[in-house]
Structure 1
Amino acid sequence: MTTRARLEGYDLIGDVHGCGATLAALLEKMGYHQRGGVYRHPRRRVIFLGDLIDRGPRIRLAVQIARRMVEEGEARIVMGNHEYNALAYCHRAPTGLGREWLREHTPRNNRIIKETLEQFRDHPQEWEEALAWFMEIPLCLEEGGLRVVHACWDQPLIDELRRRRPDGCMDETFLIESTAPGTGAFRILDRLTRGTQMPLPLGVEIHSGDGFTRRSFRTHFWAQSPETWGDVVFQHDNLPGDLELRPLSDEERTRLAHYGPDEPPLFIGHYWCEGIPALPAPNVACLDYSAVKFGRLVAYRWSGERELNADHFVWLRVPREEQVRPRPWEITFE
């Protein structure tokens, strides 16, 4: 009997953000064990939802685990906005763009990638290999009755992506174009890895729990006939004042993607949820539960069901000890 014939389902894992030790523990909890330096399960495979890197203390370990599993056929992965940001940050801009790097090295962008670069600082070849692997990661997956994307499933943009890149992956030309607002590649990358955002009124800001000041808020894409901002907001930060009651304008509605209740099960990350994992819609599961902020590293054990079941969530709380910088011999799991 072939491995494919024995496959029971997929274990989808949300944003790891460098919590590599907790990732290893979660895999062990779900029955995965190391053989030949790779976590394996006799009857199941993993799908990572992106954002392996940045912020956490064991970023190299997280990348090592995921990359080895993917390369050995034990896992798949979709692109997160943090892997994309790393690619653009580390890629020199072509002559004539008026900047040195595709993603400018501003204080804000430097801060986001700081931990990743520091942890790979003494391993430059490993970092170059990781960047090359990031370029091989597709922006979305659709297989066997489920769909996976980091932030937002927008069918017209996914159709456009597949026309341009049938494998769903970027090449260098697509990467360069994606950093230019208004281009097709920018719209695809922005929507699939960052989702939709609604600008706040002039002069209104959100001082987020992650230390950044934001002038927009994240929205979801499965509300049926939304009427107000409160019907579509999807983030852990509350909207200031009474903005949740503000009616959606016709122009704002056109910005929103929509994922209907009859669509296949969809798995996303990205949105920094908090508390006990729950389903925002019967066919949508968000698996980002703020692992790197001492939240939960969450998986969903999918075995072919069309209507998702909250009982299929599995998670581990991220202990504060995870946030202590590892000693050198703790970085690798070999």
Structure 2
Amino acid sequence: MAQDSDVDGYDLIGDVHGCGQSLIRLLEKLGYRAEDGVFRHPRRRVIFLGDLIDRGPSIRLAVSVAKRMVDAGEARIVMGNHEANALAYCHAAPSDSEREWLRDHTPRNNRIIGRTLEQFHAFPLEWETCLSWFMTLPLCLELDGLRVVHACWDDSLVAAFLKRYPNARIDREFLIESTRHGSLAHQILDRLTRGTQLPLPPGMEIHSGDGFTRRSFRTHFWCRNPRTYGDVVFQPDNLPPALEDRPLRTDERARLTYYPESAPPLFVGHYWCKGVPALPRSNIACLDYSAVKYGRLVAYRWEGESRLDANHFVWVDVSQEGIRG
């Protein structure tokens, strides 16, 4: 896919998670100005990395700002796992299914989407419009010189997906199939929007800072020959003691993927980084810096470079957003 001919570069923005006021401050810091309800820049465009919704205090505002920009051609966007979750949560399962919804309404799932549904409760038609829009969001983008995906670019799965959906947009059939563990659609959606995870040894768990208990950990995809858990862990929560040096088994190594250094620059979100934005490698940038946890809402100003530069990060602190615990 070619780059837009009338732009000098892209401003890629990480996970907003309902921090709408911070999104506006970041856009203004990047030089975008609101014109007729749409934030515009004379020579640049935005690419959102997904996860606009859930957790934050101004979810409707975040979605509105992004959607207006995308609809006006001022931005592009890829689907995040939270948009995918919302679609499955709000779509009834087929009549021959044993479940009522494609994503079960368990206490955990209810909690994840709870603030989104709460903030849209008085605006049901607006929420239906959002869900329809989410169905149109591509899972990945490849422009001249850069790639964008919410969590992980896996060449074989991207190729299989684009063979079936050349425009990178899912449909209801794919969404239903993606809820069947082991199906190709499940592998694609899970890898591209959630990345890879490895289960913790039996009896071990992580008590995450966001109140959830997890029995697996998120892994990255830029270590060529990983040997231990510590070589691939990529999340803010520490592994249980003694697991950093635990050797990876052959079957665990087989579950991982690798993004080569020779590949085009890749931009992802998803991983709840902390601190000052940094590059894990010269052709990979993660832009999720835990905005909704009083972190930073981060952008990268890409101007066509094949080797990324940490000086191109721009961010705003989210301490002014008024986030509830």
TM-score by length of 2: 0.98
Query: AA paired with 1:154?
Result: D
Secondary structure of the corresponding residue to residue 300 of structure 2: strand
Alpha-carbon deviations, 1:256-314, whole Å to 9, x = none? 01001111000000000000000011100000000000000000000000000000000
Deviation at 1:148, TM superposition (A): 0.3
For the aligned residues, what is the CA RMSD? 1.2
Correspondence for 1:41: 41
Output the CA distance in 2 between the equivalents of 1:166 and 1:253: 30
**What is the CA–CA distance in structure 2 between the aligned matches of 1:53 and 1:181, rounded to whole Å?**
25
Corresponding position: 1:285 with 2:292: no
Matches within 5 A, 1:263-278: 263-278=263-278
Deviation at 1:97, TM superposition (A): 1.3
Contact map agreement 1:21 1:322 (CA 8 A) in 2: no
> Is the CA contact (8 Å cut-off) linking 2:19 and 2:321 kept in structure 1?
no
Whether the 8 Å contact between 2:14 and 2:268 is mirrored in structure 1 is yes
Q: Which deviates the most, 81-90 or 3-12?
A: 3-12
Instruction: Give the aligned residue type for 2:83.
Output: E
**How much does 1:224 deviate?**
2.2
The residue that corresponds to 1:298 in the other structure is 298
> How does 1:223-262 map onto structure 2 within 5 Å?
223-262=223-262
Q: Is the 8 A contact 2:21 2:321 kept in 1?
A: no
The structural deviation recorded for 1:319 is: 1.5
Between the aligned partners of 1:28 and 1:322, the Cα distance in structure 2 is 19
Amino acid paired to 2:269: G
Q: Does 1:201 align with 2:201?
A: yes
1:22, 1:322 within 8 Å by CA — same for their partners in 2?
A: no
Separation (CA, whole Å) in 2 of partners of 1:154 and 1:4: 25
Q: How does 1:1-334 map to 2 (within 5 A)?
A: 4-323=4-323
Alignment check: 8 A CA contact 1:228 1:245 kept: yes
Q: Do 1:19 and 1:322's aligned partners in 2 also have CA atoms closer than 8 Å?
A: no
2: CA distance, partners of 1:169 / 1:79:
9
- What SS class does the counterpart of residue 322 from structure 1 fall into? coil
Aligned residues: 323
- Write the letter of the residue equivalent to 1:319: S
Tell me, what secondary structure is at the counterpart of 1:189?
A: helix
- 1:5, distance to aligned residue in structure 2 (A): 4.0
Q: Give the CA deviation at 1:96.
A: 1.6
Q: CA deviation at 1:324?
A: 6.2
> What secondary structure sits across from 1:243 in the alignment?
coil
Contact kept, 8 Å, 2:57 with 2:321, in 1: the verdict is: no
Helix, strand or coil at the partner of 1:241: coil
Secondary structure of 1:323 counterpart? coil
**Which amino acid is the alignment partner of residue 151 of structure 1?**
A
Letter in 1 for 2:15: D
Residue pair 2:16, 2:292 contacting (<8 A) in 1 also: yes
Counterpart in the other structure of 1:329: none
- The one-letter code of the counterpart of 1:87 is L
Amino acid across the alignment from 1:133: W
Question: What do the CA deviations read for 1:20-53 (whole angstroms, capped 9, x no partner)?
Answer: 0000000000000001100000000000000000
- Counterpart AA for 2:11: D
Structure 1: how far apart are the matches of 2:144 and 2:241? 44
What CA distance in whole angstroms lies between the structure 1 residues aligned with 2:306 and 2:262?
9
**Taking structure 1 as the reference length, what is the TM-score of the superposition?**
0.95
